[in-house]
């Protein structure tokens, strides 16, 4: 496949013939498409994967975005979904049936984990959770009925990596599908398909959209796999993105390659400074040279995003609350990937946090580094 330059993908691909020389595509806010005659109508119904018939299947605005996402991930094809979770569960379901087994990463996204452990179990699909950082451990978890190895590298609270080359070749050698959640690194910094991974999923609600104004998801892979996911899951479950959501993601994605280096730089600088702060026990950011998996991170990623976590030395919940409440420029919120900085304490989302009571997740947004740094340091000073 001929690789396209990032600007060619983001600014031009799929938009060669826009009407009236428009530099943004029209929003095809239409539910149905009509046909000139019986035969055309019939052809579209028999091959909905490749035709515009009904917006619960394909839509031209959505398809422009899908072409860009596929090219960014070095995939043949991509499908946009209503949410990241919809893309994830559909790409899992498409390849398993009752009696099959899934191996997945212990610290993967919470709803992915719930789907595999609880939802799939209702339909007789078994699972094993693995740490993931050791390919031998992962291999030992495989069974004759294993159909999927589900990866997330890095994970987004604990920042653990899996060796994509090793795991992908393990999957290939045994005919097991490998799927990875690539939301953290984005295609700007990591292209799992180049290492042999079969399918890449994203929450487009994070960096792809990039403005905290839209929810969406994507799966990218081979023509054959995407056709299967489209026909078996997408059409049946109706997790269809609204054309306007696709239009917003298209607008957001044009600046992806400009935003990511700023998130990366801000996260590097903040995590370095936090590491030197006496109140901090440790920082988890894969691109720090001191990180456990730094050499693996360098091997498979060209950079990092704005999300990292750190642990305060204190275990006193009142001090932790004071720290969180003192922040001015880090908003207290879930999700991440927008222009704005966020804080998400582990103890907010986990009922029994135990040792992790002082684990704090930070999203470094696009603000000036000194503003963010001063805010974090003064919140630490005022709390501890």
Stretch that binds ligand PLP, among 39-47, 138-146, 198-206, 321-329 (CB under 6 A): 198-206
> What CA dihedral angle connects 67, 72, 78 and 83, to 10 degrees?
-110
248 binds ligand PLP (CB under 6 A): no
Q: What DSSP designation does 54 have? A: B
Candidates 59-67, 79-87, 226-234, 284-292; binding stretch for ligand PLP (CB under 6 A) = 79-87
Q: Does 85 bind ligand PLP (CB under 6 A)?
A: yes
183 binding ligand PLP? (CB under 6 A): yes
Selected binder of ligand PLP within 205, 212, 300, 358 (CB under 6 A): 205
Q: What x/- string results for residues 3 through 32 when contact with ligand PLP is judged by CB under 6 A?
A: ------------------------------
Query: Per rule CB under 6 A, is residue 358 in the interface with ligand PLP?
Result: no
Preceding amide of 31 cis, omega within 30: no
63 vs 203, beta carbon nearer ligand PLP? 203
Kindly state whether residue 252 participates in binding ligand PLP, applying the rule CB under 6 A: no
Among the listed residues 217, 221, 286, 338, the single contact to ligand PLP using CB under 6 A: 217
Pick from 347, 345, 348, 319: nearest CA to 330: 345
- Both tokens assigned to 292: 């456990």
Instruction: Count CB neighbours of 311 within 10 A.
Output: 19
Q: How far is the CB of 128 from ligand PLP (least distance, A)?
A: 20
Q: Which two tokens stand for residue 144?
A: 């004759």
**């393990």: which residue's tokens?**
170
Question: CB-wise, 109 or 264, nearer to ligand PLP?
Answer: 109
Q: How far is CA 305 from CA 209, 246, 269, 299, 338, in A?
A: 14, 23, 12, 16, 11
CA distance 252 to 246: 10
Helix (H) or strand (E) holding 249: helix 243-253
91 near ligand PLP, judged by CB under 6 A: no
CB of 110 to ligand PLP, least distance (A): 9
**Can you tell me the distance from the alpha carbon of 111 to that of 85, in angstroms, rounded to the nearest whole number?**
7
**Smallest separation (angstroms) from ligand PLP to the CB of 66:** 16
Please report how close the Cβ of residue 239 comes to ligand PLP at its closest, in angstroms: 10
Q: Tell me the window of 80-88, 250-258, 263-271, 274-282 that interacts with ligand PLP (CB under 6 A).
A: 80-88
As measured in angstroms, the least distance from the Cβ of 348 to ligand PLP is 16
Task: Pick the closer one to ligand PLP by CB: 57 or 217.
Answer: 217
Residue 7 φ/ψ, nearest 5 degrees:
-65, -35
Strand-pair category, 331-332 with 307-312: unpaired
Please state the φ and ψ torsions of residue 32, each to the nearest 5 degrees: -130, 160
- The footprint of ligand PLP on residues 102-161 (CB under 6 A) is 109, 156
For residue 70, which of 61, 62, 79 has the smallest C-alpha distance?
A: 79
Interaction site with ligand PLP (CB under 6 A): 83-85, 109, 156, 181, 183, 203, 205-206, 215, 217, 335
């Amino acid at each position: 496949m001929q690789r396209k330059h990032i600007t060619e993908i983001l600014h031009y691909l799929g938009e060669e013939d826009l009407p009236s020389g428009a530099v943004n595509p029209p929003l095809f806010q239409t539910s149905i498409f009509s046909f000139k005659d019986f035969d055309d109508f019939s052809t579209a119904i028999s091959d909905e994967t490749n035709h515009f018939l009904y917006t619960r299947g394909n839509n031209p605005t959505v398809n422009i975005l899908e072409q860009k996402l596929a090219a960014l991930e070095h995939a043949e094809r991509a499908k946009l979904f209503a949410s990241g979770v919809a893309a994830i569960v559909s790409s899992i379901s498409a390849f398993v049936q009752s009696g099959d087994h899934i191996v997945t990463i212990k610290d993967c996204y919470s709803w992915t984990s719930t789907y595999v452990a609880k939802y799939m179990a209702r339909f007789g699909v078994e699972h094993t959770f693995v740490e993931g950082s050791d390919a031998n451990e992962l291999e030992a978890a495989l069974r004759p009925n294993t159909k999927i190895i589900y990866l997330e590298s890095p994970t987004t609270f604990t920042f653990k990596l899996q060796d994509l080359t090793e795991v992908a070749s393990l999957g290939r050698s045994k005919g097991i599908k490998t799927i990875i959640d690539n939301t953290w690194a984005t295609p700007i910094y990591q292209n799992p398909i180049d290492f042999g991974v079969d399918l890449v999923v994203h929450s487009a609600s994070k960096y792809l959209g990039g403005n905290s104004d839209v929810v969406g998801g994507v799966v990218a892979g081979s023509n054959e796999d995407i056709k299967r996911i489209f026909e078996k899951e997408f059409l049946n479950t109706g997790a269809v993105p609204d054309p306007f959501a696709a239009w917003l993601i298209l607008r957001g994605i044009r600046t992806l390659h400009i935003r990511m280096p700023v998130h990366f730089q801000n996260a590097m600088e903040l995590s370095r400074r936090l590491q030197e702060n006496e109140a901090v026990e440790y920082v988890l950011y894969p691109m720090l040279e001191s990180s456990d998996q730094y050499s693996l991170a360098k091997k498979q990623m060209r950079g990092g995003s704005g999300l990292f976590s750190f642990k305060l030395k204190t275990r006193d919940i009142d001090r932790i609350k004071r720290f969180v409440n003192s922040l001015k420029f880090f908003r207290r919120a879930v999700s991440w990937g927008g222009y704005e900085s966020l804080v998400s304490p582990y103890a907010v989302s986990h009922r029994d946090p135990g040792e992790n009571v002082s684990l704090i997740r930070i999203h470094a947004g696009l603000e000036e580094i000194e503003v963010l740094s001063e805010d974090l340091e003064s919140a630490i000073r005022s709390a501890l």
